[in-house]
Amino acid sequence: MPQISNAGDAEGKMSEAILDVKYHRLCVHPPVGKSKQYCTLMLTVIHAVEQGQPTDRDNISWKLITNLPVETIEDAVRKLTWYALRWKIETFH
């Protein structure tokens, strides 16, 4: 199981989590009658659920949708790691 180091929550608390990670590529078509205005999107849904129950916070359950390439579980974990860094980015701003 992949392990993610969470860069911190809104209060800046660091934690680690073991995640069950699944991903699936899908095609989203434009609405009927709008195909000339909008293109078809190739997206990947990444679903990560924490194994076990932490005592100091809620379980992690993330659903990410990306148009970045995800071909392997390592690619999915890389995207999840980027997502885990979001609090550092939001705090920086």
For the whole model, what pTM was predicted? 0.79
Q: Is the pLDDT of residue 2 over 70?
A: no
Residue whose C-alpha is closest to residue 65's, from 90, 48, 86, 88: 48
How many domains does the chain contain in total? 1
Domain that holds residue 62: 3-92
Count CB atoms within 10 A of the CB of residue 28: 12
Mean pLDDT across 57-78: 93
For residues 14 and 40, is the Cβ–Cβ distance under 8 A? no
Encode pLDDT of 8-57 as tens digits. 555 666 677 889 999 999 999 999 999 899 999 999 999 999 888 877 77
- pLDDT band for 86, please (50, 70, 90 cuts): confident
